[in-house]
Structures are given as C-alpha cells and as structure tokens.
Structure 1
Amino acid sequence: MDEVDSIPEIVKISYKTGDYVGEACERDDRRVLVKVLAVLQHPTQGDLHSSYDPDAAIFHERRALAYTEKVWVPIQTAHRYTGAIPEYRQSLNTALGIEMEKIDRLKRWSELSLEKLETLRKDYGL
C-alpha cells in the first residue's frame, strides 16, 4: 500500500511464511495491526535458511496464527482483499491439507528419485 490512509479494512498479509486474511485494526507510518480472520496458506515447517533439510540444527514447528490473533505487519505487506472471507476453522483445515499434500508429493518424488538413482548406479556399474 502506498499511503497509510489507503489501507482497506480487510487485507491479505504474509507473516512468517503463512498467508492470512484479516481486519486492519490500527496503523501507523510503517505498520498495520491485523486481526486474523482466515488462513490462506499454512506456514512452512523446518529451518527457513536450510529449506527441505531434515537434519537442520533446529527444525521449527510453525503454527498458523489463531483466529482473531493480532499481529503487526509492515504496511507494504498488507494488500486489499476483495474475496469472500472463509470461516477460520475451515480455512485452517484447507490450508493445512494443502501443505500436507505438498509435503507428501515431495516425499513421493524423493522416494521415486532414490529408486531411479539406484537403478542408474547399477547401470553405471558403480
């Protein structure tokens, strides 16, 4: 958002790898206080500096922001949201399911890749 006064009441925000719909409650020159109403994308698990590394020193469990939880975000990360606002629990369930499907697909890709690499190892005579 370019100007502080142009912030709409309902906004989409990104916060610590999750995406949310919320109500802009307060604002100042640089930030917007947003009350969470729905989850659009569940936060990513693990160490953000070592993506997809299960052996990272700290593997973070990241929870989605709770219903009506308030969070300050930089003003430039709050964008007008014009869609229907989904019910919180249903939106959380949907976002969690999508994240789990994404991880399951990655897991299946990894397993199939390992199988193919083992076949190649044999073909290479290694």
Structure 2
Amino acid sequence: MSMSSFQIGDRVTAEYKTGVYFGEVVEVSSSMKAAVRILAVKEHPTQGDLHNPMDPSVAFFHQRRALSYQEIALMPISTIRPYAGQIPDYQDSLKRALMAQISKLSEMEAWARRSLQELDQLQKEYFPTKD
C-alpha cells in the first residue's frame, strides 16, 4: 500500500523494530513513514542484539519493552498493513504476546537441551573412548 492509501483513523497492523502492533494511523508524514497510535500488541519485541540474534554473549543485551497503550510511533510504511478485525484489549494482548514469546523461547530451550543430549550420544558413538 502506498502512502496515499492510508488515511488518518485507518486501523492497521504495523511493525516497530521487532514488535508487531495493532493501531490506528494518526499522521502520514512522508512516503516512507506514518505515525501510528498503539492500541494493542500482536507480537512482543524480541530481546537481545538485533545485529547478533540468538547471541547471549553480546556486549549489550537489549531488553525491549512493548510500546505502550496510546503511544504514537513513527512506523515504516512498508510494515503497515490494513486491519479490519477486532482489536483486542491492550492489557490482554500484551499478556498474550508476552506469554507466547516466553512459550516459544521455552520450547527452543527444551529443543536445544534435547539436541545437545543427542549430539553428546553421537559424539560417543563417533569417537568412542578406548580404555
């Protein structure tokens, strides 16, 4: 959608850094960005360094908070999509998005532990110790 396609008051989903939000357009300031008022959280922002994803050993591991209810953020037009559905309550959406991210990371942690167990077993099979 181009800049001229969005009107003030349009309900949208939009990405800001690594979070995704439900909101409404409050200003179309250029062909590249529009100001969006946050109404709910669709996906909680990812934690850590964006330039070194999945690396816990970076010099500065960023804690990213979700944008606040009614906060206005300048979003790239390319990340804004029209939205016609029901916008959830902000607090409920924040909790759901946070819990979804915690669940996803917990599953990844469990997968990593299991993978390490399997790789340890393979290492023993590949390179048996000789007593």
State the TM bucket, normalised to the shorter chain.
Answer: over 0.9
Equivalent residue number for residue 56 of structure 1 = 58
- In structure 2, how many angstroms separate the alpha carbons of the residues matched to 1:36 and 1:78? 12
How many residues are matched? 125
Equivalent residue number for residue 100 of structure 2 = 98
Equivalent residue number for residue 22 of structure 2 = 21
Secondary structure of the residue aligned to 1:121 is helix
- In structure 2, how many angstroms separate the alpha carbons of the residues matched to 1:3 and 1:26? 10
Cα 1:118/1:76, change in 2 over 3 Å: closer
Secondary structure of the residue aligned to 2:55 is coil
Deviation by residue 1:6-39 (Cα, 9 ceiling, x = unmatched):
2151111000110001011111232211110000
Equivalent residue number for residue 12 of structure 1 = 13
Task: Give the percent of matched residue pairs that are identical in Structure 1 and Structure 2.
Answer: 43
User: What is the letter of the counterpart of residue 100 of structure 1?
Assistant: I
CA RMSD of aligned residues (A): 1.2
Structure 1 residue 53: Cα displacement:
1.1
- In structure 2, how many angstroms separate the alpha carbons of the residues matched to 1:94 and 1:109? 22
User: What is the letter of the counterpart of residue 123 of structure 1?
Assistant: E
Structure 1 residue 93: Cα displacement:
0.4
Aligned with residue 43 of structure 2, among 41, 44, 66? 41
- In structure 2, how many angstroms separate the alpha carbons of the residues matched to 1:36 and 1:49? 26
Equivalent residue number for residue 116 of structure 1 = 118
Structure 1 residue 75: Cα displacement:
2.2
- In structure 2, how many angstroms separate the alpha carbons of the residues matched to 1:118 and 1:108? 15
Which segment is superposed worse, 26-35 or 16-25?
Answer: 26-35
User: What is the letter of the counterpart of residue 27 of structure 1?
Assistant: V
Secondary structure of the residue aligned to 2:60 is coil
Larger Rg, first or second structure (1 or 2) = 2
Structure 1 residue 112: Cα displacement:
0.5
TM-score by length of 1: 0.93
- In structure 2, how many angstroms separate the alpha carbons of the residues matched to 1:22 and 1:44? 19
Structure 2: gaps (5+ residues):
none
